[in-house]
Amino acid sequence: MKSTPAYILRNCALWANEDVKVGQFSEVTISMPKEKSEGFRNGGMIKERKVAMGYEHDDLEFTLTAFDPATLKLMTGKPGTEHAFMVTGAHVDEDGVTHSAVYYVRGRLVTGDAGNWKPGDKAELKCTVVQNYAKLEIDGSEIFEIDDFDFSVGGVSQTGDIRAALLL
């Protein structure tokens, strides 16, 4: 165990449909899966119990400082159309060890908000991607992977037993 700060983000990069956006984006927001729960207080119980009912996964969001036509063309709205997005991060420990984080996404660009244009001011394009698939790896090791049918943590399915019970 280290006694100095570790995994400090030093820089990151973004790819949209295999087109690298280095020098063209100012921020990116990746999302971690969240447990969706429902409260139950059935007969004989004295308090409510939160029961896991599945998972939620928010959208990928990024802000470009370029009015990029290649990115805008990814917003097709056509059913069944997905594009690959990738975010990479260089995380460095204070003792000098460098780690690679890679966040893979497959989804649809659903929003390209160009905001306000004002002469002499930076114009931004805020983009939102609905994620149908996501995977996070750090140093080549899977942290999580999620799609519409399965969620795994560290390569271990969290829903495999339920899928087996459904004969899937």
Q: Locate the DSSP E strands across the chain.
A: 8-16, 19-20, 25-29, 34-40, 49-56, 60-64, 83-92, 98-113, 125-138, 141-146, 151-153, 156-157
**pTM strictly above 0.85:** yes
Q: Provide, rounded to the nearest whole percent, the portion of the chain with pLDDT above 70.
A: 100
Tens digit of each residue's pLDDT (9 = 90 or more) over 135-164: 999 999 999 999 999 999 999 999 999 999
Q: What is the mean pLDDT of the chain?
A: 95
pLDDT tens sequence across 90-107: 999 999 999 999 999 999
